[in-house]
């Protein structure tokens, strides 16, 4: 019995690893070196249940190629990421952040009805997002505009925001990424 499918795709931000459930809904999108991300090796060694098959990912591959070419702003894919009710609320708020825009952690907290004191918990939920790129956690920045953490690496975050037109001064964004606010997770400063 198949638990899920997986495949790898080349991209401008590195090799992407996609997983889907038995019905073909996308369950994760990971990049190399991602904090908490899956790896092809772990799926190969997982034994029964996981099957390497590009077939269920045709739509995802087409949409990702169009996104990276600057031709797609909204993904239209079936998603099935598992998380607590709180994480699901935070992820739903991420889905509402439009292409080319950025928001702060505090803004996401407010959109989910979380208190100002819950910003760190919101950061943790954002950091646990298993669907990088497709669910745009890269659009969340620090309250001061700093490129605070991204599970896929701050350099990728800067690249994605530049692609979307949210950053026009890559040199400034890169220097922000290297500053003390840069982290490898999403638990950035209160926003």
Condensed to tens digits (0 to 9), the pLDDT of residues 104-148 reads: 999 999 999 988 788 999 999 999 999 999 999 999 999 899 898
Q: Record the tokens describing residue 77, joined without a space.
A: 């894919």
> Which residue, among 108, 3, 8, 111, has the nearest Cα to 61 in the 3D structure?
8
Catalytic residue among 81, 137, 147, 151: 137
Average pLDDT of the residues in 93-106: 96
Q: In this predicted model, what pLDDT tens digit does every residue of 69-80 receive, in sequence order?
A: 999 999 999 999
134 within 8 A of 152, measured Cβ to Cβ: no
143 CB neighbour count, 10 Å cutoff: 15
What's residue 138's pLDDT?
97
DSSP string covering 63-125, please? HHHHHHTT--SS----B-----HHHHHHHHHHHTSPTT--EEHHHHHHHHT--GGGHHHHHHH
Q: How many residues does the chain have?
A: 191
52 catalytic? Reply is: no
DSSP string covering 154-187, please? HHHHHHHHHHTTS-S-HHHHHHHHHSTT--SSS-
User: 36: which DSSP letter?
Assistant: T
Name the pTM for this structure: 0.84
C-alpha atoms less than 13 angstroms from C-alpha of 140 in its C-beta half-sphere:
35
pLDDT above 70 as % of the chain: 87
Q: In this predicted model, what pLDDT tens digit does every residue of 19-45 receive, in sequence order?
A: 999 999 999 999 988 887 888 888 888
What's residue 172's pLDDT?
44
Q: How far apart are CA 160 and CA 145, in angstroms?
A: 15
Banded model confidence at residue 169, pLDDT cuts 50, 70, 90: low
pLDDT above 90 as % of the chain: 69
Q: How far apart are CA 127 and CA 99, in angstroms?
A: 19
C-alpha atoms less than 13 angstroms from C-alpha of 130 in its C-beta half-sphere:
17
């Amino acid at each position: 019995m198949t638990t899920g499918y997986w495949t790898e795709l080349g991209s401008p931000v590195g090799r992407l690893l996609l997983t889907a459930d038995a019905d073909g809904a996308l369950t994760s999108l990971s990049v190399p070196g991602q904090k908490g991300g899956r790896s092809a090796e772990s799926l190969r060694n997982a034994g029964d249940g996981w099957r390497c098959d590009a077939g269920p990912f045709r739509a995802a591959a087409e949409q990702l190629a169009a996104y990276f070419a600057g031709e797609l702003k909204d993904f239209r894919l079936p998603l099935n990421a598992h998380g607590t009710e709180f994480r699901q609320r935070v992820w739903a708020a991420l889905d509402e952040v439009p292409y080319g825009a950025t928001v702060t952690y505090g803004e996401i907290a407010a959109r989910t009805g979380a208190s100002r004191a819950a910003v760190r918990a919101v950061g943790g939920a954002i950091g646990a997002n298993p669907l990088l790129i497709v669910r745009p956690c890269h659009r969340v920045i620090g309250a001061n505009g700093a490129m605070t953490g991204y599970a896929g690496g701050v350099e990728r975050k800067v690249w994605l925001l530049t692609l979307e037109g949210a950053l026009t001064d890559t040199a400034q964004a890169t220097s922000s990424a290297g500053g003390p606010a840069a982290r490898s997770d999403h638990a950035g400063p209160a926003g």
